[in-house]
Amino acid sequence: MRHALSQDARKARSTWRTLARLLRYFRPYLLLIIGVGVLLLLSTGVQAVRPFLIGQAIDCFIAPAGESCALVDNPTQPDAGGLAGLMIFYAVLSVIGALASGGQFYLMAYAGQRVLTQLRDEIFDQIHRLTLSYYDKNRAGDVMSRLTNDADTIAQAINSSLVQVIAQMLNLIGFVVAMVLLQPALSVIVLVMLPVMFLVTMWLANRARQAFRQTRAEMGTVNTDLEQSISGVREVQAFSREEENIERFRESNAANRDANVRAVAITSALRPSLDVLGNVTLAVVAGVGGAFALSGQPLAGSVVTVGVIVAFIRYVQRVNYPIQVISNLWAQIQSAVAGAERMFEMLDEQPDIVDAPDAVELPPIKGLIEFDDVSFAYNPDEPVLKHISFRVEPGQTVALVGPTGAGKTTIVNLIGRFYDVTDGVVRIDGYDVRQVTRRSLRRQLGIVLQDTVLFSDTVANNIRYGRPEATDEEIEAAAKLALAHDFIQALPEGYNTVLGERGKTLSQGQRQLIAIARAALADPRILLLDEATSSVDTRTERLIQKALTRLLEGRTSIVVAHRLSTIRNADQVLVIQHGEIVERGTHDSLLKAGGVYHDLYMSQFRRQVDLTGSGNGKEAPSPALSPATGD
């Protein structure tokens, strides 16, 4: 994982290309951006003229030097009134500059927040477009980090850093132009040092960018560990793995800390380096200018006065400040660029499963399922299914049994086209599932899984999830069919009770009954049950089986079987082993055949008195057929 994170951190692309793509999101707010630009220019003009006014205050009204005064013709005496008027103008100009600066940040934040909202919306949309194969390879915490932490770094850059960098660049240009106009010879000293300052800044900034990309990746690991610990807190405590989880989190948190320390160490070197270069420049300018001012000799044909030196010192200080600000903020922008790259990488990810250009809407189906010589592999060199062929007539129930990893759940996933076959064809009512739209296909399927997912919403809305337009009466009817109505009525607010995250406030059996009610309300023609009763006790399993019996009536059903009571009622049992169908038939015929199914059955049911009951007229408990609950 650490190697993968290091590889991810080195994927950094062009900063300017990423920024250009980010700025394209601002096109709808062009007028606002123009307003920001006008205010930036106004603020830059104020910043550029203020040092000049300080110099003029000295040369015109404090220590008059006729040749250098541009405000008064040939001043000879100090002028307190003129100085006061100039200072009032200076103060008014400063207020205007402050208002312009505040206005530009407000407008940029206004546009930036809307851009960020659009980016978050696009990422969230992409989360739902991407297929299961993407989530097989990417951690949930890392995906969440792109929507939260990475988005936050972009928000910081858009709201302040980016505008400040542009503003300081304009200020830098304005200061350089003002210095050249004021004293060309002295400005050469500054112009010589500026490239050195920028080279140092860019070298350190590029290193900072890689470091910040590493911090974003490490933060994804921290989020993953946090998400897994929260969602699996019951299992963690049940197996007394608190200390191990804490230690693992400490390791990922420490890795995140070290990555941030490295990034900060690089960025912290920026300011001292620029301070040294700026102070050297200031010393040379003051020394050279002061020497010519004391000698009274012109420098490159222009007289150097005290006012000129003071103004130039102010300009040099102000030239140094934009570079420092740019260097500091550039590190933040590098962090934001790293976050933007990660978001854009996810947005650029192409789903493996898409509707064909000529895909048609699947009409209302009868429920015929055909697997025609189907092979499938998640990884090219590791086949999961090999030449699977079977046919399920409308209304039939087919049970899939076999050991963990045999390929049972994969068959269910191929019917819903969550993955595409490697070879062969899966057909529904004669339609290749790859030639119909996924939405029209999946809207006619009902799925009940072993690990039922419920949302932090009311019970009614959880049942309504597969059919949003359903009325309260229809929801109640579906709950009654699923035998869930009684326990729902006993909840504090009945159908309006808000469930906790993933429905953890309910028992596993209650969650399964709500999932069955949800499937019943959707009224699918094909029902897919993946270990739907494997995680409940025998008493609850019987209740669920009774609900499932009602739900299965008249529907084509594929059941990844775990309990005997499901298998014995199936029209056909397919025994899957090593990705192949090794036996097929009814429960009774397979037992009589004495093959793989018989051996598997006998290994699991040695304690059962007989196949139909326990000798007292009651059905015997139905232990697990498969030694594991997953595929």
Residue 192, domain CATH? 1.20.1560.10
294 with 376, same domain? no
**Distance in angstroms (rounded) separating the CA atoms of residues 105 and 163:** 7
In eight-state DSSP terms, residue 305 is -
55 inside domain: yes
513 with 569, same domain? no
> Which residues form the domain of 489?
451-523
Q: How many domains does the chain have?
A: 3
Residue-level pLDDT at 361? 93
* Burial per residue of 336-371, b for 16 or more beta-carbon CB atoms within 10 angstroms, e otherwise: bbbbbbbbbebeeeeeeeebeeebeebeebebbbbb
422 with 466, same domain? no
263 with 343, same domain? yes
264 with 365, same domain? no
Number of separate helices (H) and strands (E) present in the chain = 23, 10
Number of Cβ atoms within 10 Å of the Cβ of 39: 23
489 with 587, same domain? no
234 with 315, same domain? yes
Side-chain-side CA neighbours of 50 within 13 Å: the count stands at 20
Low-confidence stretches of the chain (pLDDT beneath 70):
1-14, 65-68, 140-141, 159-161, 209, 216, 231, 234-235, 237-240, 300-301, 320, 324, 327-328, 330-331, 501-504, 532-541, 562-566, 604-631
124 inside domain: yes
26 inside domain: yes
Residue-level pLDDT at 541? 66
237 inside domain: yes
289 with 365, same domain? no
Model's pTM, two decimal places?
A: 0.62
Residue-level pLDDT at 78? 83
Residue-level pLDDT at 393? 92
438 with 498, same domain? no
Residue-level pLDDT at 555? 85
Number of Cβ atoms within 10 Å of the Cβ of 24: 9
pLDDT in tens, 32-89: 888 988 998 898 888 888 888 888 888 888 877 656 677 777 777 888 888 888 889 9
Could you give the angle at the alpha carbon of 439 between the alpha carbons of 435 and 440, nearest 5°? 65
541 inside domain: no
Residue-level pLDDT at 605? 56
Angle between helices 184-231 and 306-348 (to 10 degrees): 30
629 inside domain: yes
457 with 440, same domain? no
290 with 203, same domain? yes
Among 476, 499, 523, which residue terminates a domain?
523
543 inside domain: no
- The per-residue DSSP string of 367-400 comes to --EEEEEEEEEEETTEEEEEEEEEEE-TT-EEEE
Among 316, 348, 380, which residue terminates a domain?
348
Give bridge partners of residue 559 from the DSSP assignment: 399, 529
Residue 372, domain CATH? 3.40.50.300
Helix (H) / strand (E) containing 401: strand 397-401
**Distance in angstroms (rounded) separating the CA atoms of residues 505 and 510:** 10
Q: Categorise residue 403: left if φ over 0, alpha if ψ from -120 to 50, beta otherwise.
A: beta
**Distance in angstroms (rounded) separating the CA atoms of residues 561 and 532:** 8
353 inside domain: no
User: Exposed, middle or buried: residue 237 (CB in 10 Å: 0-12, 13-18, 19+)?
Assistant: exposed
pLDDT in tens, 583-598: 999 888 988 888 888 8
Q: In degrees to the nearest 10, what's the CA dihedral of 150, 152, 155, 156? A: -110
**Distance in angstroms (rounded) separating the CA atoms of residues 162 and 156:** 9
88 with 157, same domain? yes
383 close to 376: Cβ distance less than 8 angstroms? yes
